[in-house]
Structure 1
Amino acid sequence: MIRRASADVDLSLDRAWLGFEGDQDSENLDLSGKKQKQLLQELKDTAEAEVSGPPLVEI
């Protein structure tokens, strides 16, 4: 019998929903490598802030 269980939650966030589309999309091949790297960091920071706010409280 399992007395204790652990569960992970996988989340998928849409880049556009987070405001990263067009010239703000790190996958835009017209952007320089430096700009893509900067946008990836901004995307990471934005996603972390989004999921650590109200959604985390609801879980």
Structure 2
Amino acid sequence: MCTKIILRFGTRALLLLSMMLIAACDSEGSDWQTAKSENTDEGYARYLELHP
């Protein structure tokens, strides 16, 4: 019984972590596209501040 609870919690934690990583990667790509479309020094600097 206790093992099932631990496995359920571990599976959910792994799923949550995976979703957070995917969201973080998507944000970086979106920010890069924004900086490229602005094509200004300020846009690129903002991107570098957010994603060192």
Quickly name the TM-score band, shorter chain normalised.
Answer: 0.3 to 0.5
> Which has more radius of gyration?
2
TM-score, with length taken from structure 2: 0.47
Relative to its length, the structure with more helix (as a share) is 2
